[in-house]
Structure 1
Amino acid sequence: MTIKNIVIFGASGQIGQNATATALKQGYKVRALLRDPSKMPNDMREQIEVINGDVTNESDVKKAVEGQDAVVVTLGTRNDLAPTTVLSEGMKNIVAAMKSSGIDIVSVCISAFLFYEPEKVPAIFHAINADHMRMYECLKESGLKWIAIFPPHFTDEPSGKYTVKHDSSPGRMISKKDLGAFMVECLSNPEHYNKVCGIAQDKTEV
């Protein structure tokens, strides 16, 4: 199936904006579910279809997913590291909406901490990491063509050369632009389906 229409969850965030920019540049029609549309830059917001809603609301998510060909998930809590279930609840709603709409391709940005043994994750990240794990478990059980991206620290560096490895992290940092771009580009690359993708800038580029 040719992908023409993409819905992005978390489009107003750092990675979401870069994913949106890539999708628009590559000619996709983009829809975004936004709790606060004012957080999306005006020039970008004018080029996409905005649905005002919340990822924890099943009907909002279903409305956002209907009629799309693929899904990009860049949900986050910004700098809030407190215990939460918002990310995993949102993921469950997205998976359910995709199944009911017959859509099966989704890329999801989670965290490179999932490559670690739980006891090796810094304590400050334990609570948020637990919800990241719940997101990942939801994906694995979904039966969809999912791509789970576990990025390391992301930076404001310009785009450069980067490496993608399955099931391990190839480095310690990645440009936000490259991460956002990969989240869109991997949708049409079956080699990444049902894989965990580590991504990092090549050392010569850092």
Structure 2
Amino acid sequence: MTKIVVFGAGGKAGRAIVAEAASRGHEVVAVVRDTTRYADLSGSGVEVVAGDVTDQSQVAALVKGAGVVVNAVAPGAGDNMATFFTAAAGALVNAVAETGGGRLVAIGLSAYLDAAPGVRVMDTPGFPAQFQDFAKAHAAALDVLREAPATVEWSVVVPAMEFDPEGERTGAYRAGDTGMLADADGASRISYRDFAIAVLDEAEQGAHPRTHFAVAY
């Protein structure tokens, strides 16, 4: 059993990750901004606590003694999207380095996977302009991880282009590299529940140290 701290536990991906971690017998600390809104997350092996992922002192206290730290956060209505992801990544990296808070596993974004060698999806002509700022902010957080001290073991699990919140848990997925993954019909998709399996596998095994990798069917 490992102590796993999940930041952003109240979101769709966070909830799936908390459930998967608890089902495997881990001790889970589910970090949310407002515990009164997420009381339903509590259960066997799951403790719900309040925390601000951009506050390094809070983060350090929460991750101390953890075997794995998962970053599944997303900005809220009052957050500055341009700085939120980098602030969260920076606080997590510093806290893990300071406390020895275990392996850091983050949730990535398909926009910065490679559509072709050396060409990210977000840099292709057809990428929607309205999503550029979000993609750039997410990609900047990946750069923060790349600059992390060598003592910080991190990896980023990147979901497929179609991230299905209603999809079943089939127990199957493929893990690739930094390129976009698609099936034989050209579809790039994964359910949240199967994505959570990939996140927990990475949390337990650390098979992709200090890099990001795609997950899809």
Cα contact 2:169–2:193 (8 A) shared by 1: yes
Counterpart secondary structure, 1:184 = helix
1:100 aligns with 2:98: yes
In the alignment, is the contact (CA less than 8 A) between 1:81 and 1:124 conserved in 2? no
- Segments of structure 1 that go 5 or more residues without pairing to the other structure are 202-206
Measured in 2, the distance between the counterparts of 1:158 and 1:19 equals 14
Q: Helix, strand or coil for the counterpart of 1:93?
A: helix
Q: Is the 8 A contact 2:66 2:102 kept in 1?
A: no
Name which of 166, 175, 180 aligns with 1:164: 175
1:84, 1:131 within 8 Å by CA — same for their partners in 2? yes
Counterpart residue number, 1:137: 143
- Give, in whole Å, the separation in 1 of the partners of 2:173 and 2:216: 6
| Deviation (angstroms), 1:58 | 1.7
Cα distance in 1 between the residues matched to 2:123 and 2:79: 17
Provide the rounded CA distance (Å) in 2 between the counterparts of 1:22 and 1:108: 16
Residue 119 of structure 1 aligns with which residue?
123
| 1-structure distance, mates of 2:130, 2:80 | 9
In the TM superposition, residue 188 of structure 1 has moved relative to its aligned partner by: 2.1
Q: TM-score of the superposition, structure 1-length normalised?
A: 0.87
Q: What stretches of structure 2 of length at least 5 have no aligned partner?
A: 114-119, 183-187
In 1, Cα distance between equivalents of 2:206 and 2:56: 28
Q: Match of 2:190, SS?
A: strand
Among 59, 71, 74, which residue is 2:57 paired with? Answer: 59
Hey, what does 2:185 align to over in structure 1? none
1:45 aligned residue:
42
Q: Which residue identity is paired with 1:191? A: A
- Cα deviation, residue 107, structure 1: 1.1
Identity, in percent, stands at 23
3-state SS in 1 of match to 2:213: strand
TM-score normalised to structure 2 length: 0.83
Contact kept? 2:174, 2:215, Cα under 8 Å: yes
Computed over aligned residues only, the root mean square deviation of the Cα atoms, in angstroms, reads 2.1
Structure 2 residue matching 1:67: 3-state secondary structure: coil
Q: Does 1:183 align with 2:199?
A: yes
